Chain A
Amino acid sequence: MTRLRAIFLTPAAVVMGVLFAAPLVVILFYSVMSRGVYGGVELPYTIENWTRLIDPLYLRILARSFVMAGAATLGCLLLGFPLALFISRGGARKNLYLYLVILPFWTSFLVRTYAWMFLLRDTGLINTVLLSLGVLREPIAMLYTPGAVLVGLVYGYLPFMVLPLYATLERIDRNLLEAAADLGARPWQSLLRVMVPLAAPGIRAGALLVFIPCLGAYLTPDLLGGSKTIMAGNLIQNQFTNARDWPFGAAVSLALMAVVMLLLTVWVRREKAPLL
Chain B
Amino acid sequence: MLALYAVAAYAFLHLPLLVLTLFSFNASRFTVWEGFSLAWYRAMFRDGQLAEALANSLIIGLAATALATGIGTLCAYALWKRRSPLVSGTLYLSLVTPEIVAGISLLAFYQWIFRNFGWQLGMHTVAGAHVAFSIAYVVVVVMARLRMLDPGLVEAAMDLGATEWRAFREVTLPLVAPGVAAAALLAFTVSFDDYVITSLVAGVDSETLPMVIYAMAKRGVNPVVNAVSAMIVVGLGALILLSERLRKA
Contacts and interface: CB of A to CB of B under 8 A. Distances in A.
Given A4-B168, A216-B101, A240-B104, A276 B131 contact: no
A8 interface: yes
Interface in A153-205: 155, 158
Contact of B90 (A4, A16, A101, A275): A16
A104 B88 CA distance: 30
Contact of B13 (A13, A15, A26, A158): A158
Contacts of A53: none
Mostly helix, strand, loop or mixed at chain A's interface? helix
A89 B213 CA distance: 39
B132 interface: yes
B2 interface: yes
Q: Which of B6, B16, B140, B236 gathers the greatest number of chain A CB atoms within 10 Å?
A: B16
B217 A12 contact: no
Interface residues of B, number: 85
Contacts of B32: 128
Interface in A91-117: 97, 99-104, 106-112, 114-117
17 contacts: A6-B78, A15-B135, A16-B90, A20-B132, A83-B6, A83-B9, A86-B5, A101-B13, A102-B240, A106-B240, A108-B192, A108-B236, A110-B217, A115-B17, A216-B97, A237-B100, A276-B92
A268 B237 CA distance: 33
A118 interface: yes
B105 A12 contact: no
B19 A118 contact: yes
A106 B237 contact: yes
B61 interface: no
B214 interface: yes
A8 B75 contact: yes
B241 to A, nearest CB: 9
A26 B78 CA distance: 29
B82 A104 contact: no
Contacts of B112: 26
B87 A236 contact: no
Interface residues of A, number: 82
Given A15-B131, A215-B98, A240-B104, A112 B87 contact: no
A243 interface: no
B164 interface: yes
Interface of A: 1-2, 4-6, 8-9, 11-13, 15-17, 19-24, 26-27, 30, 79, 82-83, 85-87, 89, 97, 99-104, 106-112, 114-119, 121, 123-125, 128, 155, 158, 212-213, 215-219, 223, 232-233, 236-237, 240, 246, 249-250, 253, 256-257, 260-261, 264, 268, 274-276
B20 interface: yes
A123 B71 CA distance: 48
Contacts of A6: 78
A12 B195 contact: no
A20 B217 contact: no
A218 B72 CA distance: 27
Interface in B187-228: 189, 192-193, 195-196, 200, 210, 213-214, 217-218, 221, 225-226
A218 B98 contact: yes
B40 to A, nearest CB: 13
Interface in B1-40: 2-3, 5-6, 9-10, 12-14, 16-17, 19-20, 23, 30-32
Given A8-B77, A23-B106, A123 B236 contact: no
B88 A216 contact: no
B19 A115 contact: yes
B78 A9 contact: yes
A104 B112 CA distance: 39
Contact of B229 (A1, A82, A89, A115): A115
Contact of A111 (B12, B91, B233): B233
Contacts of B93: 20, 261, 264
